[in-house]
Amino acid sequence: MMAEEKNQAYPKQRIMDAAVRLFAKKGFSATGVRELASEADLNIAMINYYYGSKQKILEDIIDRFFRGHMAMIGDGLKTPGGIEDKIRAADRAVLKYFRENEELAIVALTEFPYDVPEIAGYKARYISELLRIGREHLIPLLAGRLNVPPRMEILGPIMISAVISHFIFKPVIEKATDIELTDQFYKELGEIISSFTLYGLIGKP
Amino acid sequence: MMAEEKNQAYPKQRIMDAAVRLFAKKGFSATGVRELASEADLNIAMINYYYGSKQKILEDIIDRFFRGHMAMIGDGLKTPGGIEDKIRAADRAVLKYFRENEELAIVALTEFPYDVPEIAGYKARYISELLRIGREHLIPLLAGRLNVPPRMEILGPIMISAVISHFIFKPVIEKATDIELTDQFYKELGEIISSFTLYGLIGKP
């Protein structure tokens, strides 16, 4: 059943899906191309044909994640209303996106493989763009109310981490507490992240 | 020079230091025991003698990190004064600790090796303890002022992530911006993290 489903997808998509699963589970460095081929149910020649190298697959994962991530943030900030509505909409959209693409988000955000140092530079183009969006579209909305210096290179990572934190800590939080990861939990998580971010930014009036 | 310095440390400490370096760089799964022995400038028999397995070294890393982390949080919360003084003191201490033990913090917080699923359970004892400290010593101080539901299983990861975020994003932020990671930068980072956390928690008065 699983194999059938996999085989119906296009080969490039199957390689991408297999890579996201394996990089999230084992890390980029510990995943071999042979293993990737086996997980994707393809031969190694096909992986070479579509990607050429493991590094190119990771770059494709990063492209895909950040394009989606930026689209969610952009839509959120375009929401009509005040800053509170915009931040709540953006956090809701980003959280939904992370929940639906959990392994993609973890790999794209936290994987800095030692054997491919250029990956930090590859991600930097997206982070630069996110910082620019923050400086141009978020900071001006907060003008006069911002409780902290408008340093996006500090605030950006804090805001992204507020959303990813749940997914990074999930395996251990599930063991340490009796929470159930229901839709209701994620609704409350989204509200808490938004409140925390919003009041973290604008503080006391 | 480096080798001389390394050789002056006790073997167990050398194994630990080498493991923190390699796990942070390559990940737990991609690091071999042979490589570890070479990095520690010891033979494999010594690693087996002191630890028995790679998993035991990771457990020791987790023990060491969380004991230090909890001590910093405990000291911070014992600081005389109001909640603002306590949170600022705790964040300052934790940030200093993360800065001085950057690789240890990254490995202990973000490494969930697929080949050792029990590690999530191993970390859970520390996270349970941190959540208990939060419930008993932080939430009561915020009583009546808390702007978000007192759910430590959500607030705890957000608060820890606010500090670790800089270290996770550092390689890419360094490429994307022209920040210089001076003492002045870390002073400002600490103040922003504290303000964000404080106002994130208590919001508008």
Tell me whether residues B189 and A131 touch, CB distance under 8 A: no
On the question of pLDDT at A205 being above 90, the answer is no
Residues of chain A in contact with residue B200, where contact means CB-CB under 8 angstroms, are: 195-197, 199-200
Distance from the A151 Cα atom to the nearest Cα atom in chain B, whole angstroms: 9
Q: Is A178's Cβ below 8 Å from some Cβ in B?
A: no
What tokens appear for B76 in the block? 């911070």
List the single residue in A121, A188, A205 with the smallest CB-CB distance to B175: A121
Is the sign of the CA dihedral B42, B46, B47, B48 positive or negative?
A: positive
- Put simply, the chain A residues between 32 and 51 with a CB less than 8 A from any chain B CB are none
Give the ipTM. Answer: 0.88
pLDDT tens, position by position, B45-69: 999 999 999 999 999 999 999 999 9
Tell me whether residues A148 and B26 touch, CB distance under 8 A: no
pLDDT tens, position by position, B191-202: 999 999 999 998
Name the residue of chain A whose CA is nearest to B126's CA.
A176
Pick from B24, B29, B97, B31: nearest CA to B64: B97
Burial label, A24 (beta-carbon count in 10 A; 0-12, 13-18, 19+)? buried
pLDDT beneath 50, residues of chain B = 1
Q: Is A163's Cβ below 8 Å from some Cβ in B?
A: no
Residues of chain A in contact with residue B103, where contact means CB-CB under 8 angstroms, are: none
On the question of pLDDT at A67 being above 80, the answer is yes
Contact A19, A58 (CB under 8 A): yes
Pick from A151, A168, A197: nearest CA to B197: A197
Provide the whole-model pTM.
0.89
CA A118/CA B30 separation, integer angstroms: 19
CA A161/CA A141 separation, integer angstroms: 21
